[in-house]
A and B are shown apart, each in its own frame.
Chain A
Amino acid sequence: MLRTINFETMCSTCGCGHDENGPTILKPGEFVGASVPQFGLDHQHDHTHTHGHTHDHSHGAEKTILQIEQEILGQNDLLAQRNRGYFEAKKITALNLVSSPGSGKTTILETTLDDLKDKIDFSVIEGDQQTMNDADRIDALNIPVVQVNTGKGCHLDSNMVHGAFSKLDLKENSMLMIENVGNLVCPAMFDLGENFRVVIISTTEGDDKPIKYPDMFEHSQVCLINKVDLLPYVNFDVERAKDYARRINPNLIFFEISATTGQGMELWYNWLMENKV
């Protein structure tokens, strides 16, 4: 009664095992049906297991305990390290951008790409449950982009990222921006092989976000506080938000920005230039 688990759909299906719930990885203009490049361990061995065992094993019940001690996220972590090795070899700086939906991730990305594209070779992976909208926005800037639609999935995993950058022909010394699915919970557990994780919060959210969703802040190196141009109109205390975030991660670096007015973006750009591999 062995069921084949399709690894690449494992992290995003509803459990029914049908491929249509798996991620689709597309470039702008491309259509569903294009195959997803995968790593070697894509367990598609459709072993038919025709063991018509007649169950005449002796009922002395030979129980065996297998001490396997395996990390449940081991598979994801292993593939993440492979991605990391690839990035390192090609001197690619990879950033994983995480936030709740609506914090302004895509706008920050658009502004950053537009302002720095003469200085840095960018590529982008967009993660969303549905639609090509974000990839189309990046494509309009003439930046190479691939969209991963996770279907039912709530996060990107290292295998999806590998599948996506395999379609991107990444240049040496370039920077890969990975915009994760808008979700402050699930993506925290999944290493993608990035150099830096950047968590974004905006002033239209609560300033207690860091302590409500601590895992994401713990595993990030940079925190962008977006929409600071709206501070006069909202009840958001920047210092309180920083204080909460520092309780979780005392080493977090903050930038207060507005992607629409450009306020504070210069410091963020300096950080990107300085921390580029």
Chain B
Amino acid sequence: MHELSIALGIVKIAEDESAKANANSVKAIELEIGSMSGIEMDSLDFAWPVAVKDTVLENAKRDIDYIEAKARCLECETEYDIEHIFDACPKCKSYFKDIYKGRELRVKALEIE
């Protein structure tokens, strides 16, 4: 359940940034989460209400930009979609790869008022 830590990390970023901007409230928060970021979306949903209670995010709309992972084979340079870290290159079957997309775990934007 590290998703609670992650949710609290998001709250902390939102509190700091909205305080810096002298915002009264946060209307919406936009997150980028990759499929290989190590976050279980169901667990994040479960932790979210507890984490945001009594914070600037309590009533904020949460938009998640979920990014599917992509890898590039280090042997034959084929680019392919991966579902698991251990997926092999569909062309040459090598496991050596660079996962260049799908690790995102970022607060992209806040809509404040």
Which A residues are closer than 8 A to B by beta carbons?
1-3, 5, 7, 10-15, 43, 53, 57, 61-73, 75-76, 153-155, 157, 185-186, 188-190, 210-211, 214-215, 218, 244, 246-248, 250
Partner of B112, one of A63, A76, A185, A215: A63
Q: A250 CA to B56 CA in the complex, in Å?
A: 44
Do A68 and B105 touch (CB < 8 A)?
Answer: no
Instruction: Name B13-33 residues within 8 Å CB distance of A.
Output: 13, 15, 17-19, 21, 23-24, 27
Residue of A whose beta carbon sits closest to that of B95: A247
Residue of A whose beta carbon sits closest to that of B15: A2
Q: Collect the chain B residues with CB atoms within 8 Å of residue A65's CB.
A: 109-112
Which secondary structure dominates where chain B touches chain A?
A: mixed
Interface size on B, residues (CB 8 A): 44
Do B106 and A189 touch (CB < 8 A)?
Answer: no
Total of A-B residue pairs, C-beta within 8 Å: 126
Do A68 and B8 touch (CB < 8 A)?
Answer: no
With A61-B113, A63-B111, A67-B109 as contacts: A247 and B9 at CB distance below 8 Å: no
Partner of B56, one of A2, A64, A71: A2
Do B55 and A1 touch (CB < 8 A)?
Answer: yes
> Interface code B78-113, partner A: CB below 8 Å = 1, 0 otherwise?
000000111010000001100000000111111111
Q: Collect the chain B residues with CB atoms within 8 Å of residue A153's CB.
A: 5
